Structure 1
Amino acid sequence: MGKRGLTLFTCCAVLMAGTAMAECDAETLAVRGDFGEVRFSVDVADDASERAQGLMFVEQMGTFEGMLFVFERPQTTSFWMRNTLIPLDMIFIGADGVVDSIHENAVPLDETPIFGGDAIQYVLEVNGGLSSRLGLSVGDTVQHPSIAGDVIWPCD
């Protein structure tokens, strides 16, 4: 994709985010940063069996789709790509809803552990390369009903 195409893609993503539902709901996650704001349609994995399954065997995902992994408390996290067929970006988020780290383009089927951090409570997985194309970065804030308590960008 050329520079013009990338710019158009990013602009469309931010514009689409502006027209998305403004209220928090379990199926929508928002990320806000210097790039603007974008919303993803997410499946939530908030118990051990759902987190273990993750996106294994998924053959494709829509551009603004993903999965939010929710842990009971902040913890050291490490993910791998066993049985995961598509490249993913892993966005590691602290209890306050702030992006702590991003691992881009995790390799399908690779079982090498991907370290996320020591105090991670949420992980957002989206299509590989998307976080860079959108301009997501460490320090961005995330909003979702599962991200509650003393957070930077709470649900209204």
Structure 2
Amino acid sequence: MAILLTALPAAALETFARSSLVIETAAGGHYRFDIELAETPMQQMQGLMFREKLAPDAGMLFLYDRPQPASFWMRNTLIPLDMIFIGADGKVVNIHQNAVPHSLDAVNSAGPVKGILEINGGMSARLGIRAGDRVLYKAFGTAK
């Protein structure tokens, strides 16, 4: 199916539902992101492929039905991304910073995760987001 995505016209690309979440850092920061939800297999396969830019407060959240190891790549992704791997309890398990556009190298979670938040490359370092911080969102039972 990934091969199909490289040949699809822009009009055939998936559309995504929108929501928002907050990342609460151990240092007391609260950072709101307007997110798109990658819910279906086709949406998850497409992700942020073919995007030329992403707003500073934007991201895409990939959710799984149950916690599991996750692995991503950057095929057809034009912008560097930070991948924030999130456990079922909403805690950040690990972060891969500045994933390289077009790379086919696997980017892996450090353990089972329920979600992955992709944001602009370097943003997690700029905001001081680290493993152990908390994502406030209904899917993790942490929404306020």
Task: Give TM-score scaled by structure 2 length.
Answer: 0.84
What's the counterpart of residue 88 of structure 2?
95
What's the counterpart of residue 55 of structure 2?
62
What's the counterpart of residue 17 of structure 1?
none
1:50 match: secondary structure: helix
- Offset, 1:115: 1.0
What's the counterpart of residue 81 of structure 1?
74
Task: Give TM-score scaled by structure 1 length.
Answer: 0.78
Structure 1's unaligned 5+ residue stretches are 1-25, 149-153
Aligned AA for 1:125? Answer: E
Q: 2:83–2:119: 8 Å Cα contact kept in structure 1?
A: yes
What is the CA–CA distance in structure 2 between the aligned matches of 1:36 and 1:134, rounded to whole Å? Answer: 8
What's the counterpart of residue 29 of structure 1?
21
What is the CA–CA distance in structure 2 between the aligned matches of 1:54 and 1:67, rounded to whole Å? Answer: 7
Aligned AA for 1:110? Answer: S
| Matched length | 126
- Offset, 1:129: 0.3
What's the counterpart of residue 155 of structure 1?
143
1:36-55 map, 5 Å:
36-55=29-48
What's the counterpart of residue 14 of structure 1?
none
Q: 2:90–2:136: 8 Å Cα contact kept in structure 1?
A: yes
- Offset, 1:35: 4.5
1:129 to 118, 122, 130: 122
Runs of 4+ aligned structure 1 residues displaced above 2 Å come to 145-148
- Offset, 1:155: 2.0
- Offset, 1:118: 2.6
Aligned AA for 2:60? Answer: M
- Offset, 1:117: 2.6
Q: 2:88–2:113: 8 Å Cα contact kept in structure 1?
A: yes
Q: 1:35–1:136: 8 Å Cα contact kept in structure 2?
A: no
1:118 match: secondary structure: coil
1:105 pairs with 2:98: yes
- Offset, 1:146: 2.4
Percentage of pairs with the same residue: 45
- Offset, 1:143: 1.1
What is the CA–CA distance in structure 2 between the aligned matches of 1:146 and 1:96, rounded to whole Å? Answer: 9
Structure 2's unaligned 5+ residue stretches are 1-17
